[in-house]
Structure 1
């Protein structure tokens, strides 16, 4: 169960959000709530939250400042609710890597969808952490880097059929995307995108050879929804079309 901190300076709206969902049925629980922005940082020091939800309606500037203060100390996911239609405010909030920006009054389906998307990432991060030991203080840098790269490769293998980006993986592992990309290239002697293409094409070759899946099904299995793009990348990688490859391997 993932722990949530609700923050809303309007007590009525705060109570409405608390009772809006059956939180536990989707894997979350509201562990704490506050109607004072000033209480958020102390609460973060006291509790191990998985998510903060902040209603910023009528408090746009102060809410953005709160997010700024949080980001100085924590990488915790943040969902913002309400606020102004002012694009500048929304853009400023997004620079602090908030998870989502929902309108007020918050829609039950929209909030549920946002939470389920986050839960999938939190679940996967937990799986990664249980598969690999976290680097310990005093361990040498090469060993730590190797552990990080193995987590990246594990994600690629497990989520092959999804839209995979280094930015998404970086967020899960709490690393800067450019830094992680640099470390990956140093460790693997290829860029992350080159590795991702290699893994997808090798998996596609395996599926074409060992299964009776239709070619579009193979493409979907390795993360391609645009068939023309899959055909192009497969031919560039193997020198033959997917259909020709299957015949050749039969």
Structure 2
């Protein structure tokens, strides 16, 4: 089920959108609501939102400005609904790389068609991570925890922040800065730390060969693993294992 954020300050309009389709049957669930861009950005940072619906029905809603602010920080799919049937307005929306611009009169069939297209896109890049009930100590904790969880589960794979950003529909630079602010280290520094600490653990607790350990922590080039491990620990992998054996 893909979580939907509906940005619309008008309560009656929200209800109309809720009742327009059987959202859950289509694989979507409108779980979050925002009145403006600041509320929308806070929700995007704290929850894994898969789709943003922005209502343009109210001329005072500043829906296009909300769309612009979201695009500065996230690549999450956006559908603009209920706007005027105006070429210049639609062209401006396309500049923000929205998934669709659906003008008034709002018809269920048009929204349904857009949702099918978005769902196809989301199904192709779904992160497939089990989300836990994470403590929300600050607005950024949930998304950072998801990034860290992904690293732990995919440590033996080729991991890049750009790939994770795409999966989570976040701007890569924005997510990287948020990660650094929260962890006091860059994403790449964190990734190296996790790989090296797991390699140390495997050297200490298993009889795995060095090339097997390198592969287990995401290195396909054994020489590159040797170089990174020595730079991190001050000893080669073989030396580290011998030191542990002697100490034990």
Hey, what's the Cα distance between the residues in 2 that align with 1:45 and 1:175?
9
Contact 2:76–2:170 (CA<8 Å) still a contact in 1? no
TM-score by length of 1: 0.50
Check whether the contact 1:60–1:89 (CA below 8 A) recurs between aligned residues: no
Aligned to 1:54: 54
How many pairs align? 151
Residue 121 to residue 112, structure 1, CA distance change in 2 (3 Å):
same
Q: Does 1:40 align with 2:40?
A: yes
Q: Report the CA distance between 1:173 and its aligned residue.
A: 9.5
CA distance in 2 between counterparts of 1:113 and 1:14 reads 20
Q: Distance in 2 between matches of 1:96 and 1:41?
A: 16
Q: Which has the higher contact order (CA 8 A, sep 6+)?
A: 2
C-alpha contact (below 8 Å) 1:53/1:79 kept by paired residues:
yes
The gaps in structure 1 that reach 5 residues or longer are 138-142, 149-170, 177-250
Shift of 1:36: 3.7
Q: Is the 8 A contact 2:3 2:31 kept in 1?
A: yes
Larger Rg: 2
> Quick one: distance in 2 between partners of 1:103 and 1:35?
20
Give, in angstroms, the shift of residue 62 of structure 1: 2.3
Correspondences of 1:79-98 after superposition (within 5 Å): 79-98=79-98
Task: Give the SS at the match of 1:82.
Answer: strand
Q: C-alpha displacement at 1:172, in angstroms? A: 7.8
Instruction: Show the counterpart of 1:104.
Output: 104
- Root-mean-square deviation (CA), in Å? 3.9
Written as runs of structure 1 = structure 2, the 5 A alignment for 1:124-143 is 124-126=124-126
Q: What CA deviation, in whole Å up to 9, does each residue of 1:28-76 have, x standing for no partner? A: 1111123344421111122211000001124389222211110111110
- The separation in 1 between residues aligned to 2:84 and 2:6, in whole angstroms, is 19
Contact 2:9–2:61, Cα closer than 8 Å, also in 1? no
TM-score, with structure 2 as normaliser? 0.50
1 CA distance for matches of 2:43 and 2:26?
A: 23
User: In the aligned structure 2, how far is the partner of 1:69 from the partner of 1:2?
Assistant: 22
